[in-house]
């Protein structure tokens, strides 16, 4: 009985000492907010932003889960479409374009945004979790490569 009380008291004292030293180590990180740096057109809104990348010229690519994901029931599985959107802004935050401005023009693989990167040649790479693909676009927005394969409509459940 005495040992358990001693152990409890020792643990409480350790927690007080450790938490006190952690609180003493916390420092405020100074920052300046850019506010509404990225200026979207009035009819477009950000959803969950999955990734941000910049080009060598300072343009900013934002890959986000903007619209609602649409699901269509197929023979053996659900078919997700839409939702993920890829926007480009100039270095001042001005909206330049969207790759695939309507659902009909969006690449087949734009389903659920995962991440975006820009390589040394300013090619844009996006990872789409919903279609299980990685897509490479040239700087003009043309698809150069697709890695992975969207699941088949038949034979896969769930």
Predicted confidence band of residue 19 (pLDDT cuts 50, 70, 90): low
CA distance linking residue 45 with residue 49, whole number of Å: 11
- Strand ranges (E), the chain: 48-54, 60-65, 70-73, 78-81, 84-89, 95-99, 113-118, 124-128, 133-137, 143-148
Comparing CA positions, the residue from 120, 7, 11, 137 lying closest to residue 63 is 137
CA distance linking residue 19 with residue 14, whole number of Å: 8
pLDDT per residue as tens digits for the range 23-79? 556 778 887 776 778 888 888 878 788 899 999 999 999 988 876 666 666 666 666
pLDDT of residue 43: 81
Return left, alpha or beta for 35; rule: phi > 0 is left, psi -120 to 50 is alpha, else beta. Answer: left
Burial of 146 (0-12, 13-18, 19+ CB in 10 A): middle
CA distance linking residue 113 with residue 131, whole number of Å: 9
Q: Is the pLDDT of residue 129 over 90?
A: no
Predicted confidence band of residue 104 (pLDDT cuts 50, 70, 90): low
Predicted confidence band of residue 94 (pLDDT cuts 50, 70, 90): very high
């Amino acid at each position: 009985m005495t040992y358990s009380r001693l152990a409890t008291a020792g643990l409480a004292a350790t927690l007080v000492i450790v938490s006190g030293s952690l609180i003493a180590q916390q420092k405020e990180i100074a920052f300046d907010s850019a506010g509404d740096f990225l200026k979207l057109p009035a009819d477009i809104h950000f959803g969950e932003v999955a990734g941000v990348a910049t080009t060598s010229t300072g343009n900013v690519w934002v890959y986000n889960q903007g619209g609602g994901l649409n699901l269509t029931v197929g023979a053996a599985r659900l078919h997700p479409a839409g939702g993920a959107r890829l926007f480009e802004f100039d270095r001042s935050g001005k909206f330049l374009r969207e790759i695939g401005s309507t659902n009909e023009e969006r690449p087949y693989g734009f389903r659920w945004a995962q991440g975006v990167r820009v390589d040394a040649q300013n090619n844009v790479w996006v990872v789409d979790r919903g279609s299980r693909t990685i897509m490479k676009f040239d700087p003009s927005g043309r698809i150069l490569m697709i890695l992975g394969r969207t699941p088949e409509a038949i034979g896969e459940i769930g």
